[in-house]
Amino acid sequence: DAKTTQPPSMDCAEGRAANLPCNHSTISGNEYVYWYRQIHSQGPQYIIHGLKNNETNEMASLIITEDRKSSTLILPHATLRDTAVYYCIVSPFKLIFGTGTRLQVFP
């Protein structure tokens, strides 16, 4: 599976958009980009996934560059409850989690 690189931590003001980057320069054609998050000690929670096209759901938007070597997860209006570790995973199927980005949303 392709390796991903994420910043270890980010801050975001409540109400602002949180943009979380992920590099996956060795991604293969059949590999999807997945985003999960883990709030405190709960089980990871699915956010969104995509292959080539940008995707949006009720939680977030996923922007994938045309060459698919990087992506950005966008939380349009971050709240305190969005404070969590966010994982970007690239895989055709089974999910191997890296160290993720710890997002801290502050008031």
Give the footprint of another protein on this chain (CB under 8 A): 32, 34, 36, 41-46, 49, 87, 94-99
CB 95, min distance to another protein, A = 6
CB 99, min distance to another protein, A = 6
Cα 65 from Cα 93, distance rounded (Å): 21
Sign of the alpha-carbon dihedral angle for 66, 31, 18, 56: positive
Q: Nearer Cβ to another protein, position 81 or 107? A: 81
CB 98, min distance to another protein, A = 7
Q: Give the closest residue to 51 by CA, choosing from 66, 72, 28, 32.
A: 32
Q: Nearer Cβ to another protein, position 21 or 44? A: 44
Q: Nearer Cβ to another protein, position 40 or 81? A: 40
Cα 75 from Cα 17, distance rounded (Å): 6
Cα 2 off chain centre by: 15
